[in-house]
Structure 1
Amino acid sequence: MFDILLYLFENIVNDSAEVWIDNDELSSELQTAGFHDDDIYKALMWLEDLAELQSNDIIPFIAGQTSVSTRVYTLEESIKLDTQSQGFLLFLEQINLLDVATREMVIDRVMELEENGILLEDLKWVVLMVLFNVPGKELAFEQMENLVFDEPDGTLH
């Protein structure tokens, strides 16, 4: 399922196409690309749920939180998001790329992935997908995109 999400995201961003196009057309394109129907359905539901998070009742509650909140991860979240990933999310909050609401959206979307654990590189893509889909987060998306694509090679001195 994550491969489908990456495929969609890379094609949507690279082609500057509309995010929400006809599901039948999209499913057909994904089948042609070699993805299985079950995985296609799960990926489309994942994206649909991401869109619904923006109107979820929890967002106004979270949005009222101060920027000095501490996130305590559940056991399930800690299994899926290791210490490095949790630290990365904290870092993104500290540099104001994520706020409390978008952090929670990222965690929600990670928890819906079928993988037992998520690699840091995959987490970065989930953050990109969330920021891409949240109105008003265009600058944060661009900055996150730079973090993902402009990583220096080798050792920093």
Structure 2
Amino acid sequence: MKETIFEVLVYLFEHYIDAGDEKALEQGKLKTELLEAGFTENYVDRAFDWMGELTTQPSQVIENYVGQSAIRVYSAEERLRFDVDAQGFLLFLEQTGIIDLTRRELIIDRAMALGDALLSVDHVKWVALMVLFSQSGMEGHYSQMEELVYGDTPFELH
């Protein structure tokens, strides 16, 4: 059995989100398929809740990218959950302009909502991809993030 919300979300994203309308399913049928794929009902329900919360988050327009600068101080709980590489990767995404401050906070919120004890770079990559996919006007940023998730270039802190 697959046992995390993160695994359910990645499975959904890889098999349904990017596949186009031909695989569009209503939630009941999708839930059945996820259960047949080996996910537990609890994690499937929690993944649907996670996605529902993502789609209710406000989206600000791209012009927010101009002139933003702020240092993010992680809370004690966030420092325990995000490993150093994951924190560095978020900073990398900001510095390269793939995400802005609003998206950074949304990524942190959605990553924390996964419930995993330790959040790695892979968690951040996938959550960032899902956040950018859910935001209108972010297609170029989504494409850049998609390259980081599916591309051959590994991220390394120096």
How far residue 122 of structure 1 moved from its aligned partner, in angstroms, is 2.0
TM-score using structure 1 length = 0.84
* Residues 86/20 of structure 1: CA separation in 2 closer, same or farther (3 Å cut): farther
Unaligned stretches of 5+ residues in structure 2: none
**Corresponding residue of 2:29:** 25
* Residues 127/9 of structure 1: CA separation in 2 closer, same or farther (3 Å cut): same
Work out the CA distance in 2 between the residues paired with 1:97 and 1:64: 9
Q: Secondary structure at the match of 1:68?
A: coil
Q: Secondary structure at the match of 2:71?
A: coil
Are 1:95 and 2:96 counterparts?
yes
Are 1:50 and 2:54 counterparts?
yes
How far residue 21 of structure 1 moved from its aligned partner, in angstroms, is 4.6
Contact 2:65–2:100 (8 Å) recurs in 1: no
**Corresponding residue of 1:130:** 131
Work out the CA distance in 2 between the residues paired with 1:24 and 1:137: 29
Letter in 2 for 1:152: T
Unaligned stretches of 5+ residues in structure 1: none
Work out the CA distance in 2 between the residues paired with 1:7 and 1:143: 20
Structure 1 segments (4+ residues) deviating >2 Å: 16-22, 63-66
Work out the CA distance in 2 between the residues paired with 1:90 and 1:152: 17
Contact 2:82–2:119 (8 Å) recurs in 1: yes
Which deviates further from its counterpart, 28-37 or 40-49? 28-37
In the comparison of the two structures, how many residue pairs are matched?
149
